[in-house]
Amino acid sequence: MNCQKFEAIVSELARNQMMDADLRAEALAHTFKCSECSDRMRDQKVLSSGLNALALDMNQLQAPPQLELKLREAFRQSKQVTPFPVRKRSNRRYWLSAVAAMLLIVIGLAVVRAQLKGVQEELAKIPPQSIPVSEIQTPEAPQALQSKQEVIAGNKEKVETPRRRQQSQSFYAANNRKRVTSKNEAVAANHVTREVATDFMPLGYMNASSFQDGGQLVRVELPRSALAKFGIPVNMDRYNEKVKADVLFGADGLAQAIRFVQ
């Protein structure tokens, strides 16, 4: 054992910590040979006794008795306050979200309905002009409508279901042959060939079932500003002019779709 090794373990030795018995014996033997290390050992033991005396001196220290009362009070309060508010707050948040969602849906429906009603009222003010729908070329009609056959009956037309398609087609063929002989019909045919029409644009929630019991196609004239409502660009030079349109009414009398004709 040299002084350096002794220095490393002297505090453990003075504190009577557990260590290897041989190491302890070597260290103690070294103190008999080296006076400096003997002094180190003595100082460490005196320090330990001083620290022990200090520990004993403070051993009776305790927190003030009123502290326990305060803590017990705090404990009681914490147990009273915690249970419900968290759950209640979270439930309220869910209810508010649900009500907000419902309000948004109702408002959205009301807006759509109001817009639809406005268009229908505008259409109702304009006197209907009917032309034979069968003679109007509709190159890009909506798919839902392509399956329907339209039948002319005076100012009104019937939209047939697919079951009657075959029968109707033969009827149209015969009818068209007769019309060729008529002068008015020839003019109309020439007129139709020059017409360009947009796709049918739905007015509200349109589906095929709306035409199960037939429908009507009515030619009307609308102010050119109506184009803008359907997202079609308007030529401002011709803003005051009228524009032709075909309005498709369902059996319930409600306008289902519209297309613009030029």
**Could you list the residues that contact other proteins (CB under 8 A)?**
8, 11-12, 43-44, 46-55, 57-59, 61-64, 67-68, 70-72, 74-76, 78-79
Using the minimum distance from each CB to other proteins, give the nearer residue, 38 or 44: 44
Go through the chain and tell me how many residues it has: 262
Using CA of residue 30, residue 34, residue 39, residue 40, what is the dihedral sign?
Answer: negative
Using the minimum distance from each CB to other proteins, give the nearer residue, 11 or 120: 11
What's the closest the beta carbon of residue 41 comes to other proteins, in angstroms? Answer: 12
Q: Which residue has the tokens 């398609």?
A: 165
Token digits of residue 234: 């308007």
What's the closest the beta carbon of residue 40 comes to other proteins, in angstroms? Answer: 9
Using CA of residue 202, residue 206, residue 211, residue 216, what is the dihedral sign?
Answer: negative
Using the minimum distance from each CB to other proteins, give the nearer residue, 38 or 176: 38
Burial of 247 (0-12, 13-18, 19+ CB in 10 A): buried
What's the closest the beta carbon of residue 27 comes to other proteins, in angstroms? Answer: 14
Using the minimum distance from each CB to other proteins, give the nearer residue, 40 or 158: 40
User: What distance in Å separates the CA atoms of residue 126 and residue 223, rounded to the nearest whole number?
Assistant: 10
CA atoms within 13 A on the CB side of 132: 19
Q: What is the DSSP letter of 219?
A: E
What's the closest the beta carbon of residue 87 comes to other proteins, in angstroms? Answer: 18
User: What distance in Å separates the CA atoms of residue 230 and residue 256, rounded to the nearest whole number?
Assistant: 14
User: What distance in Å separates the CA atoms of residue 10 and residue 42, rounded to the nearest whole number?
Assistant: 10
Using the minimum distance from each CB to other proteins, give the nearer residue, 46 or 106: 46
Using the minimum distance from each CB to other proteins, give the nearer residue, 62 or 143: 62
The Cα-based distances of 84 to 76, 95, 97 in angstroms read 16, 17, 20
What's the closest the beta carbon of residue 43 comes to other proteins, in angstroms? Answer: 6
What's the closest the beta carbon of residue 29 comes to other proteins, in angstroms? Answer: 21
